Chains A and B, each alone.
Chain A
């Protein structure tokens, strides 16, 4: 028994190791480039990358849950934009920043709930429902904002994403702490709770899950709602960073979010994925963007590299699976 337990622990390690090696590779390549090596690994740059990652990472936490359950959420980025706009709008109405943030959060949750209800009640494919919701949420965001940026007075909300935190003992911006804290919570939820196990079961084989007495519809609705809440939160962070409510923000970001999950070992057919893997996926993309920008490489170059990495990551993942 001891040997097999050790063996499986080793296997889990190698499952994470793949994406992790990729991350190390990206970091070391850039830190060896003579043009940027002096600046790349500096603390200021690292915190800058981390801050940039917060928004994608928060949405990706929810997306990980959805992808493990065998679904997908294409409305994530639109949802985020809607939340961002609503926060700015609420502050302009004279509401307190806290209340404004809550409104953004709840709006995200409601969009997620709507996704979950449509998918389970109408028995529609998640791809289609969330594709529709992608347009609806983006449209509402533009409607609320009258198709332009909403300027809002600065409040403490805008301190959440600064690179140098206000009370300096915080070391990192509140947004990064929030990301770390919620990641740990989600990792525990996924690995150590009955709910997490049920999500994996649904993604692995929904019929079996039903056979085992799991109320699959209810779990799915919860999963989409949680993911919506994370998008709402990411929208609040987006507002914090931009200081305005921009309805066109995060266009196409849903694909980055999905890519992060997939690079981190998530399987689009469900049943597989992990929070730690997803975070590594987020950081691989963030460091790549950052490094390419510092090198002065054009934008299209980044896109090509990231595209290639997604394909390589998934190909390596399949290869690894064939071995077990």
Chain B
């Protein structure tokens, strides 16, 4: 490319304390180009955006806009020099009008009365141009839907003569319809010669809107190029640094006898009754939106919420007096979605946290054998590759992934047969995630049963044998994972309607 790029970053480094967040990052953007910036949580995307906006200063490296050095002193200066960032949580004043918001903090607002008509005309013109004539310049921003607010932000950027538009997860709170309209806006903006940096998790959308991509992983650029030459799977593999087949390892297992049967189970906090069966050696994924009753269902089976109605039958016999204690004795194990406040006792040792549910093996003549308890904990530390210095270490000193492994080890230690796992991979690093998928696979291969609740559909599709979808306290549908796609899961979770229509091709990990 002979022309000078609109934006170019050279060897940008940034660290916080001992942690190197960005490591010699190179990045280029041409005028009229939409470049996707993708990567997992913690890959360094937000830091890079903040450096671009001027909120952070790089430790080393250079930035150029149209060939001229760009060294913003702060976000305001960054904006003046032509970089507009539209954050996920939009930066609009809800009690001001569309027009007031657009001109807020812009030089033009100093002009007097005469300019007012001109300003309004310009806003109208831009709204027409972006195909959003329904937005009234005089209406209050708080009365606008999210999609329209985004358009307001974009117009604000255009009016301030921004040459580079950075959009951080712009579609995360948009409906499909609004997403489509946003893409039209982006096409228009791009035609004006503005460069767009598009940051998103949703790879399918990214594939549709972006011309090129840059992938960050652990603060380094691990791939970049034209969108046309790369597949979705390749993008995911770049992001996670692994083959997809390695991300969801498969351990051969075959579902056997029914080990748990729930009949019309309704807990205190559930809005509907749920019936389902779980077999030995089976991984049952549970999908559903937050508030769909998936967590409440697990808590009810485990006896944490009171059972109002229904039967829980484990290995052929009814569980009476459902309480966590009896549930554990009957072979149930529950992993809380909230590791910090419920799952683990932060100030207790790793050994205590791990063995608390089942101290029996360490008691002799009524006295605990602390030495054997620690020994057992050490064994689990080694088996699950938990990174810890000693079993006596306080649990809060471990990383999120290692904490989660301790919480899982507790269930293994209490010799559970049925694992009720609520969001087991939330908020942990990719490596720990993979290890947890592997662990779940091994459990099934060992003929144990797993119910795996997750908001993240690709992992359900990746490791589940069957997937059940919950909607407003009801079980919508339950069928083999191979018969679901991400789209059909999403549809069922949102609408609560079964979809026996088209059989889409299964795409693993599409919005990782």
Which A residues form the contact surface with B (CB < 8 A)?
Answer: 1, 4-5, 7-8, 188, 191-194, 196-197, 200-201, 204-205, 207-215, 271-272, 324
Interface positions of B from 321 to 344, Cβ below 8 Å from A: 323-329, 334, 336, 341-344
* B367 to A: closest C-beta gap in Å: 5
Chain A residues lying within 8 Å of B328, measured Cβ to Cβ, are 212-213
A207-B356 in contact given A1-B378, A271-B347 (Cβ < 8 Å): no
Closest to B360 in A: A194
What separation, in Å, do the CA atoms of A1 and B366 have in the docked complex?
27
What separation, in Å, do the CA atoms of A188 and B367 have in the docked complex?
8
B367 engages A192 (CB within 8 Å): yes
B334 engages A204 (CB within 8 Å): no
A271-B323 in contact given A4-B389, A197-B356, A211-B334 (Cβ < 8 Å): no
Closest to B367 in A: A192
What separation, in Å, do the CA atoms of A126 and B334 have in the docked complex?
29
What separation, in Å, do the CA atoms of A197 and B390 have in the docked complex?
19
* B391 to A: closest C-beta gap in Å: 9
Contact of B325 among A5, A200, A201, A214 (CB under 8 A): A214
What separation, in Å, do the CA atoms of A200 and B368 have in the docked complex?
14
A215 engages B323 (CB within 8 Å): yes
Interface size class of B (residues with CB under 8 A): 35 or more
Contact of A211 among B324, B359, B390 (CB under 8 A): B324
Q: Ordered nearest first, which 10 A-B pairs have the shortest CB separation?
A: A205-B345, A213-B325, A4-B390, A212-B357, A204-B345, A207-B342, A212-B356, A213-B328, A208-B345, A213-B324
Contact of A214 among B329, B356, B390, B397 (CB under 8 A): B356
Chain B residues lying within 8 Å of A7, measured Cβ to Cβ, are 390
Q: List 5 A-B contacts (CB under 8 A).
A: A204-B348, A212-B324, A213-B326, A213-B329, A324-B394
Q: A4-B392, A197-B368, A212-B324 are in contact. List 19 more A-B contacts (CB 8 A).
A: A1-B378, A4-B389, A4-B390, A191-B370, A194-B359, A197-B356, A197-B359, A201-B345, A201-B348, A201-B352, A204-B346, A205-B344, A207-B342, A208-B345, A208-B353, A209-B345, A212-B356, A212-B410, A213-B357
What separation, in Å, do the CA atoms of A271 and B328 have in the docked complex?
24
B345 engages A193 (CB within 8 Å): no
* B361 to A: closest C-beta gap in Å: 11
B363 in contact (CB, < 8 A): yes
Chain B residues lying within 8 Å of A193, measured Cβ to Cβ, are 366-368
B392 engages A8 (CB within 8 Å): yes
Chain A residues lying within 8 Å of B366, measured Cβ to Cβ, are 193
Chain B residues lying within 8 Å of A214, measured Cβ to Cβ, are 324-325, 356
B304 in contact (CB, < 8 A): yes
A215-B325 in contact given A1-B378, A192-B367, A194-B368 (Cβ < 8 Å): yes
A192 engages B368 (CB within 8 Å): yes
* A187 to B: closest C-beta gap in Å: 12
Interface positions of B from 370 to 388, Cβ below 8 Å from A: 370, 378
* A315 to B: closest C-beta gap in Å: 19
Chain B residues lying within 8 Å of A215, measured Cβ to Cβ, are 323, 325
Chain A residues lying within 8 Å of B347, measured Cβ to Cβ, are 204-205, 271-272
Contact of A210 among B324, B348, B389 (CB under 8 A): B324
Chain A residues lying within 8 Å of B344, measured Cβ to Cβ, are 205, 208
Contact of B356 among A5, A188, A201, A324 (CB under 8 A): A201
Chain B residues lying within 8 Å of A192, measured Cβ to Cβ, are 367-368, 370
B334 engages A194 (CB within 8 Å): no
What separation, in Å, do the CA atoms of A210 and B363 have in the docked complex?
20
* B375 to A: closest C-beta gap in Å: 9
Q: Which of B325, B343, B347 has the most CB of A within 10 A?
A: B347
What separation, in Å, do the CA atoms of A152 and B415 have in the docked complex?
60
Chain A residues lying within 8 Å of B352, measured Cβ to Cβ, are 197, 200-201
Contact of A271 among B336, B345, B367 (CB under 8 A): B345
Chain A residues lying within 8 Å of B359, measured Cβ to Cβ, are 194, 197
Closest to B346 in A: A205
B367 engages A211 (CB within 8 Å): no
Interface positions of B from 390 to 439, Cβ below 8 Å from A: 390, 392, 394, 397, 410
Chain A residues lying within 8 Å of B336, measured Cβ to Cβ, are 207, 211
Chain B residues lying within 8 Å of A207, measured Cβ to Cβ, are 336, 341-342
* A203 to B: closest C-beta gap in Å: 9
Closest to B338 in A: A207
What separation, in Å, do the CA atoms of A208 and B347 have in the docked complex?
12
What separation, in Å, do the CA atoms of A271 and B418 have in the docked complex?
30
* B97 to A: closest C-beta gap in Å: 47
What separation, in Å, do the CA atoms of A213 and B295 have in the docked complex?
18
Closest to A321 in B: B347
What separation, in Å, do the CA atoms of A7 and B390 have in the docked complex?
10
Q: Which of A7, A188, A213 has the most CB of B within 10 A?
A: A213
What separation, in Å, do the CA atoms of A191 and B389 have in the docked complex?
23
Chain B residues lying within 8 Å of A196, measured Cβ to Cβ, are 368
* A51 to B: closest C-beta gap in Å: 32
What separation, in Å, do the CA atoms of A5 and B377 have in the docked complex?
14
A211 engages B342 (CB within 8 Å): yes
What separation, in Å, do the CA atoms of A51 and B271 have in the docked complex?
62
A200 engages B348 (CB within 8 Å): yes
Contact of B342 among A1, A8, A208 (CB under 8 A): A208
What separation, in Å, do the CA atoms of A5 and B392 have in the docked complex?
8
What separation, in Å, do the CA atoms of A1 and B377 have in the docked complex?
12
B341 engages A8 (CB within 8 Å): no
Chain B residues lying within 8 Å of A188, measured Cβ to Cβ, are 367
Chain B residues lying within 8 Å of A324, measured Cβ to Cβ, are 394, 397
Chain A residues lying within 8 Å of B304, measured Cβ to Cβ, are 210-211
Chain B residues lying within 8 Å of A5, measured Cβ to Cβ, are 390, 392
What separation, in Å, do the CA atoms of A200 and B346 have in the docked complex?
12
* B398 to A: closest C-beta gap in Å: 13
A208 engages B356 (CB within 8 Å): yes
What separation, in Å, do the CA atoms of A193 and B390 have in the docked complex?
22
A213-B345 in contact given A4-B389, A197-B359 (Cβ < 8 Å): no
What separation, in Å, do the CA atoms of A208 and B357 have in the docked complex?
10
B345 engages A8 (CB within 8 Å): no
What separation, in Å, do the CA atoms of A191 and B373 have in the docked complex?
13
What separation, in Å, do the CA atoms of A224 and B378 have in the docked complex?
35
Q: Which of A205, A207, A209, A272 has the most CB of B within 10 A?
A: A205
What separation, in Å, do the CA atoms of A196 and B359 have in the docked complex?
12
